[in-house]
Structure 1
Amino acid sequence: MAAADALLSTLSRQVLANDIESAKISLTQLKIWMLDIPTNDNNVPLESITLAANALELGVLLSVADDDLEAFARNMSQLKPYYAALSARGGGATSTTERKCHVLGLNLMHLLVDNRLSEFHAELELLSEAEASTPYVSFPITLERQLMVGSYDEVLNSRSNIPDVSYSFFMDNLLETVRDAIADCIEVSYVSMKLSDAMIMMKFDSIGELQEYIQEKREDWIVDDSGEKLTFQPPMSGGKAVDIPSMKLMAQSLSYATELERIV
């Protein structure tokens, strides 16, 4: 146990210092130690369960720092049984960890970015009122509500209010998703607009960032030679939908229906 305590302290320092490669080695060593810490054995000391949970929480933070979503999901999956074991030990301060709400908030961000909303709400059902009210957890809850009502502008502005720098990784991914949704709305609502207006609507910091986005994701958008105007729906060869004499066709259809009714 003493060796595991020392290793946990080392891992904590390495994660704090962003020493990713060294931290991976320490985490692996702790996971080997955890093989002898079954979560379903009530005879296992509470201190060992707590230490294992702390180690895996650091593993979650490490995977975020390493931009490794697979490792993030793996560490979360391994961590949940230890949370359950702590909760089953009787409640109180001993049934939780210092980083629990932080890690739960990150997991909610992960589910939100992946659009796994049923799992997102299932996780919310497991939270206590106190956990849900912490900044770490209330932040993704607020984001989800904003997304559901289409308040994309508020979502984009929320990147300046993240509860911890570790949330930046998921926010960057979420902002890309939101920008794609805004872009989808823009291109069906407008034929063209000023490049500067599109930049503002999509919350880019510069025209250059918008142009880079267009090159990567919107190849059908056309920037004119002046670099000031953006066209979303370029003219199609041949007939257009707007050329179809819809009113005339409707009148003919009504006439046919009237004649058919008379015959019947």
Structure 2
Amino acid sequence: MSSASKAASGPEYELQAVIRRLRTLLTSRDYASAASLLTQGKAHLLRLNALLPSSNTPRAHLILAREVLEAGALTSLHLRDMDAFVRYVQQLQGFYVLPESVLPRQGDNASKITGLYMLLLLSRGDYAAFHTVLETLEVGGDDRPGRVEDDKFIQYPVRLEQALMEGSYDRVWGETKGNRVPAEEFSIFSEVLVNTIRLEIASCSEQAYPSVPISNAKNLFFLESEGQVVEFAKERGWTVRDGRIYFPHQEQEGLASEKDILTTSKQVIENTLGYTRELETIV
């Protein structure tokens, strides 16, 4: 067999064919087929000794490996396999830390996948890991100037985390809508984040009011219908009658402490209701 024929049938050539097919499957949103094909892609990377980067790995193989792993991360995300997504992210870190002279950053999805990983940590309430990732990102430098400040994929989870820390749940909800989401994959976490703030507002409501009208509760808890409000109320153990939701009475120890809790809770609720009404007016 000639050297040209060997090249056309070797693992690198086969890997390139797999990657072309992966691109097609991802474009057509056939994530189940892409997941099956990824197994072949990683097998070819093993044969090329490129699944993990080393000083002996040719640049061409590093580029191919990075694309396969990035495809794996995005595929796992669309299939809602968060454990697999995390494993791909961890594998990609070895490629993302390589200097530009070894692995060009042109064409990579480093900031997008890092931003998605940060959003996953945020949705799980793992703020310590979130800030660890944020602190390790390059703030400046010749390779990626202003990465944190200017990168839309990184700034998106940063804005959400700030809003959550401030208790600005209306801002969190607003960030999950429309063109504020920097890429399709980020919207995968929207329902998780909205559910997080829904539970927080539910807790505030229980402390701030004896009852609320169902009509207000729909906006307050970011639900689509009054039927969903009733179901949510049942899950929380609330009583629904005469068009209102009644919260279980909770004894608070210490009047000063109770006053502070109620003031804070009412402010959160009023801000949220005001924001949702503004959005309804715009729509």
Return the TM-score normalized by structure 2: 0.76
Higher-Rg structure is 1
Q: Give the whole-Å Cα distance in 2 for the aligned partners of 1:175 and 1:32.
A: 39
Measured on the aligned residues, the alpha-carbon RMSD in Å equals 2.2
Aligned pairs (5 A) from 1:84-99: 84=97, 87-88=98-99, 90=101, 94-95=104-105, 97-99=107-109
Aligned pairs (5 A) from 1:208-247: 208-215=227-234, 217-218=235-236, 220-224=237-241, 226=242, 228-233=243-248, 241=251
Q: Give the whole-Å Cα distance in 2 for the aligned partners of 1:119 and 1:198.
A: 34
Partner of 2:136 in structure 1? Answer: 126
Judge conservation of contact 1:14–1:20 (CA < 8 Å) in 2. yes
Structure 1's unaligned 5+ residue stretches are 235-239, 247-264
Q: 1:112 to 1:241 in 2, by over 3 A?
A: closer
Q: 1:145 to 1:241 in 2, by over 3 A?
A: closer
In the alignment, structure 1 residue 101 sits paired with structure 2 residue 148: no
Alpha-carbon distance, 1:40 to partner: 4.8
Residue in structure 1 matching 2:91, options 75, 78, 82? 78
Deviation track 1:214-254 (CA, whole Å, cap 9, x = no partner) reads: 23x31x10100x3x1110125xxxxx959x9x9xxxxxxxx
Q: 1:79 to 1:241 in 2, by over 3 A?
A: closer
In the alignment, structure 1 residue 12 sits paired with structure 2 residue 15: no
3-state SS of the aligned residue for 2:104? helix
Aligned pairs (5 A) from 1:161-176: 161-176=180-195
Q: Give the whole-Å Cα distance in 1 for the aligned partners of 2:115 and 2:248.
A: 40
Judge conservation of contact 1:38–1:44 (CA < 8 Å) in 2. no
Partner of 2:167 in structure 1? Answer: 150
Q: Identity over the aligned pairs, expressed in percent?
A: 28
Q: 1:221 to 1:46 in 2, by over 3 A?
A: same
Partner of 1:55 in structure 2? Answer: 68
Judge conservation of contact 1:83–1:96 (CA < 8 Å) in 2. no
Judge conservation of contact 1:50–1:97 (CA < 8 Å) in 2. no
Residue in structure 1 matching 2:154, options 137, 154, 166? 137
3-state SS of the aligned residue for 2:54? coil
